[in-house]
Amino acid sequence: MKTDVFITGGGIGGLTLALKLVSSGIDVVMVEKLTGNQPIYKGELLQPKSMQIFDGLHVYYQVTSNAQIIEVLDLFELSKTLKVKDQSFMDYTVIPGKYNAAYMIHHEKLKTIIFKQAEKYPNFHYYNEATCKAIENNTAIVQQGNEKFQVEAAFFIGAEGRASVTRQAMGIKVDPIKYNHHFITVTFPRPSDLVGGQIFSSYNRFLGLFPLPDNQVRSVYLIPAGDYKKIKEKPIGHFHKLYTDLAPSIDGYVQQLTDWSKIQLMIPIMYHANSYVQGNKVIIGDAAHAVHPMAGEGMNMAIQDADILGELLVDMYKLSSLHPDNLEQFEYVRKERADYLIQLSHLSALAYSFPFQPVSWIRSKTFERIEEDPVLHFKQMLNVSGLGMWKESVRDRFIQGGMMPTRKKNLSVAKKEMKLFSAEDDYPWKWNGLL
């Protein structure tokens, strides 16, 4: 079999790329080793940049109508006796324009929406329960049940997540960094008035609540690395109490989980491949980078990779400019942005990783200043949104540290808009003549 682009992995990153390519007439073969909806929890928070990308792919309304909008994230810092002692918030609406909110959507639902849109195109060839075993000499070796088949392609994209066969074929190694904590995570019914994100933390505990549609809420609770087995041996009432101690509003809801079967362990790791492109092979999403989930970026980085690579491949085909060297443009745009978000997520994780009173105090003061200082607030939301990247200055750090007073004057809409990525930032080859 022959195709233009061979994609390993039908996760969010691979599907977004496939939709972008097939809707522009490029022939795509995608192999996905699993079948049907997967019961495991994965990324569910869509940042504003992902919403902009889905708008361009004509699935924005399908996504929003199956998602819970999140405009504000409330942060509650609790005392030793678990009373709220400080409260701050992060507000997506400080971002100008249409894409000024995040959305929570079930991971498998999102995959279905993108898949259904892609399968409308006859040039999308999808094989499930089909595993890419190796890529050799411009040919992918695929195993589907007892059958083995080969696919020749002009380009090979690895969108197969952390254990990446394409990355292996490129000879690229990653060096995962582990954390001193894990998470337990589960979805359960929520009170109907829990409509924004909520984070509860004390000096040694952390609970995140992120509302999903259908009156459900996804939760993440931080535990010391290695404690999962010990916790799971306790009666389910112990789990309920861990949650209701911190968030009394979910009393009566979390108890609807009556055993441990749905409660999943999530082990955060961080790595960044030193290169995304080699010849006609490219890695995207978790194949290229793994990020701590604290800032809700993993799935969004995969979507943003898919958008930039997809646009580049579409232009390469349009201009019959198919030399693999052109793929470097993808790495040029994405690597610095990914690096920044990996660091941002890592720092957010560290802020909650150490069970000491002074860390809790510094954290709540820092969040208070981010809330009070309109420039810091905008920078924070812009950076997590994916719509732009505005790094912190020395002055910002002094303000966060309480060594300089917070600014009072808000930024104008025009100034904020200048900080959003332009089409030229996202797709520079359209302007720099490098294709």
CA-nearest of 9, 78, 11, 13 to 307 is: 13
Among 84-92, 147-155, 290-298, 404-412, which window interacts with ligand FAD (CB under 6 A)?
290-298
Q: Give 254 or 375: the residue with its C-beta nearer to ligand FAD.
A: 254
Comparing CA positions, the residue from 213, 223, 260 lying closest to residue 105 is: 213
The number of beta carbons lying within 10 Å of the beta carbon of residue 234 is 12
Q: Which is nearer to ligand FAD, 9 or 310 (CB)?
A: 9
Of 351, 377, 303, nearest to 72 by C-alpha is 377
Give whichever of 84 and 347 is closer to ligand FAD, judged by the CB atom.
347
> CB of residue 96 vs ligand FAD: minimum separation in angstroms?
25
Q: Closer CB to ligand FAD, residue 115 or residue 361?
A: 115
Q: Under rule CB under 6 A, which residues in 9-38 are in contact with ligand FAD?
A: 9-14, 31-34
- One of 7, 28, 42, 181 touching ligand FAD (CB under 6 A): 42
Shortest Cβ distance from residue 264 to ligand FAD (Å)? 7
How far is residue 198's CA from residue 207's CA, in Å, rounded to a whole number?
A: 8
298 binds ligand FAD (CB under 6 A): yes
Q: Which long-range contacts (CB under 8 A, 24 or more apart) does 136-141 make?
A: 136/169, 138/280, 140/6, 140/8, 140/31
Total Cβ atoms within 10 A of residue 291: 27
Does position 70 interact with ligand FAD (CB under 6 A)? The reply is no
Beta strand 28-32 pairing with 124-128: parallel
Identity of the residue, 285 or 388, whose beta carbon is nearer to ligand FAD in the bound complex = 285
Residue with tokens 């993808």: 330
Residues 145-204 that bind ligand FAD (CB under 6 A): 159-161, 165
Tokens for 393?
């200055």
Question: How far is it, in rounded angstroms, from Cα 134 to Cα 157?
Answer: 12
Q: For 388, which DSSP code?
A: B
Question: Which is closer to ligand FAD, CB of 9 or CB of 388?
Answer: 9
CB atoms within 10 A of CB 97: 12
Site for ligand FAD in 81-110 (CB under 6 A): none
Min dist. Cβ of residue 32 to ligand FAD (A): 5
DSSP output for 19-35: HHHHTTT--EEEEES--
Query: Near ligand FAD by CB under 6 A, which window of 81-89, 293-301, 320-328, 384-392?
Result: 293-301
Residue pair 68/211 in contact by the 8 Å Cβ criterion: yes
Q: What CA dihedral angle connects 325, 326, 329 and 335, to 10 degrees?
A: -40
Exposure of 39 by Cβ count < 10 A (0-12 exposed, 13-18 middle, 19+ buried)?
Answer: exposed
Identify the residue among 3, 4, 7, 8 touching ligand FAD (CB under 6 A): 8
Q: Measured from the CB atom, is 183 or 429 closer to ligand FAD?
A: 183
421: nearest Cα among 393, 391, 382, 384: 382
User: Does 285 engage in binding with ligand FAD (CB under 6 A)?
Assistant: yes
Stretch that binds ligand FAD, among 5-13, 168-176, 195-203, 245-253 (CB under 6 A): 5-13
CB of 16 to ligand FAD, least distance (A): 8
Q: Binding mask 372-401 vs ligand FAD (x if CB under 6 A, - otherwise)?
A: ------------------------------
Min CB(247)–ligand FAD separation in Å? 18
286 binds ligand FAD (CB under 6 A): yes
Stretch that binds ligand FAD, among 148-156, 239-247, 295-303, 331-339 (CB under 6 A): 295-303
Q: How many residues sit in the footprint of ligand FAD (CB under 6 A)?
A: 30
Task: Please report how close the Cβ of residue 261 comes to ligand FAD at its closest, in angstroms.
Answer: 16
| Nearest CA among 373, 374, 354, 376 for reference residue 363 | 354
CA distance 73 to 432: 39
Instruction: Look up residue 104 and give its amino acid.
Output: M
* Contacts with ligand FAD, 218-257, as mask; x by CB under 6 A: ----------------------------------------
Q: Which of 40, 394, 403, 414 binds ligand FAD (CB under 6 A)?
A: 40
Which parts of 251-270 interact with ligand FAD (CB under 6 A)? 266
Q: Which of 80, 44, 100 is CA-nearest to residue 266?
A: 44
Asked whether the beta carbons of 301 and 177 are under 8 A apart, the reply is no
**How is residue 151 written in tokens?**
């696919």
Nearer to ligand FAD, 11 or 388 (CB): 11
**Contact residues for ligand FAD, defined by CB under 6 A:** 8-14, 31-34, 40-43, 45, 131-132, 159-161, 165, 266, 285-286, 293, 296, 298-299, 302
